[in-house]
Structure 1
Amino acid sequence: MIRAIRGATTVNDNDEREIIDETKRLLTEMIRQNDVHAEDVVSILISMTDDLNATFPAKALRHFDGWTYVPVMCMREINVPHALPKCIRVMMTVHTKRSQQDIHHIYLRDAVQLRPDLQLTKKSDI
C-alpha cells in the first residue's frame, strides 16, 4: 500500500544551518515514528513559505545514511495571507502496511497549530 506521511515545522530565522537542522529533525521523527526505510520511500516533497530562501531544505537528507537515491523536490508554499510564517512542510510518500489511522503525521514547534487534530495524545520525546 502507498501512503503519505505529512510533517511540518518552523524556524526562527531564514538561516541555512537552522533550516537544514530543523528539516533534519522533522524528517528524523517522521522516519522514526513510522518505521520508514529508504527503500520504502517513493518520493519526498518539501515546501517552504515565501520568507525562507537561505537554502534547499532537501540538503538535510544528505545526513541520512542510505538515503542517497530517494527522490526529493523542494518548492515554494502558496503565499496565503496570515499563513504560518517561516514554515517547512514535508510530504513523504512511502510503501507501508500501515493503515491511514496508524500513520503518525509529525508537527513540531509552531507548526503544531496547523493540525491540532493529528497531535498524539501522549507527548513524544521530540
Structure 2
Amino acid sequence: MTRGVRGATTIENNEAKEIIEHTRTLVLEMAEKNHIQPEDVSHAFISVTKGVDAAFPAKALREIDGWKYVPVMCMQEIDVPGSLPKCIRIMMVVNTDAQQKEIEHTFQREAVKLRPDLLERKDS
C-alpha cells in the first residue's frame, strides 16, 4: 500500500546552504520516524513558498546516501496572503504496511504551526 508522509520546515535566509541543510534534516527525520528506506519511496514532491529560490531542495535528497535515485520534483507553493513564509513542504509517497493513523508527519522549526493537530498523540 502507498501512503503519503508529510513534512515541513522553514528557513531564516534564502541561501542555498540553509535550504539544503534544513531539507536534509527534515527528510532524515521523516524517514527515521516512519522507518522509511529509500527503496520504499515511490516519489516525493517538494514545494516552497515565494522567496525560497536560492537552491532546489531536491538536491538535499540526492546527497543523502541511498537516496540518489528517488524521483523528486520541486514546485512553488500557492502564494496565499498571511501564509507561513520561507517554508519548505514535502509530500513523500511511500510503500508501507502502516495504517494511515500510524504515519508520523514531521514539522520542524516554524512549520510546527501548520498542523498542530497532526503533532498530537494519536489515540484512535
TM-score by length of 2: 0.95
On the 8 A contact 2:4/2:93 being kept in 1, the answer is yes
2:86 corresponds to: 86
2:31 corresponds to: 31
Say what the alpha-carbon RMSD is for the aligned residues.
Answer: 0.8
Letter in 1 for 2:36: V
Q: Give unpaired runs (5+ residues) of structure 2.
A: none
Deviation at 1:88, TM superposition (A): 0.2
TM-score by length of 1: 0.93
- Aligned ranges 1:1-126 → 2 under 5 Å: 1-121=1-121
Deviation at 1:66, TM superposition (A): 1.3
State the alpha-carbon separation in 2 of the partners of residues 101 and 49 from structure 1.
Answer: 28
On the 8 A contact 2:84/2:111 being kept in 1, the answer is yes
Aligned pairs, how many? 121
> Which string of whole-angstrom CA distances, capped at 9 and with x for unpartnered residues, describes residues 11-39 of structure 1?
00001000000000000000000000111
Letter in 1 for 2:45: L
Q: Give unpaired runs (5+ residues) of structure 1.
A: 122-126
1:124 corresponds to: none
State the alpha-carbon separation in 2 of the partners of residues 31 and 63 from structure 1.
Answer: 15
Q: Secondary structure at the match of 2:90?
A: strand
State the alpha-carbon separation in 2 of the partners of residues 96 and 26 from structure 1.
Answer: 19
Aligned-residue sequence identity (percent) comes to 54
TM superposition outliers: structure 1 runs of 4+ over 3 Å: none
Letter in 2 for 1:31: A
